[in-house]
Amino acid sequence: MRDVDEKGVHLVITKHGKSIAEVQPVLNKRSGQNPLKDSVLKQDDILSPIDTDWEVLKE
């Protein structure tokens, strides 16, 4: 676990020769960057009601 944190290596855990889990370092831990920053392409008011009828309500 220390190597994963300090050296950034990936660790594969096996059971009877088959991979069952992988341990990897946290992304952007040291850089302080947000990996989702600037990933929102459009931002509208998500709390206000919409003016569109849903198809399920028309039946």
Each residue's pLDDT tens digit, 8-22 = 888 999 999 999 999
Note whether 23 and 40 are within 8 A (CB): no
Sorted by sequence, the CB contacts under 8 Å of residue 8 that are 6+ apart come out as 25
Each residue's pLDDT tens digit, 22-37? 999 876 555 566 777 7
pTM for the whole thing? 0.41
For tokens 């020769």, name the residue: 17
Domain boundaries, the chain: 1-28
pLDDT value of residue 32: 62
Note whether 5 and 25 are within 8 A (CB): yes
Does residue 3 carry a pLDDT above 80?
A: yes
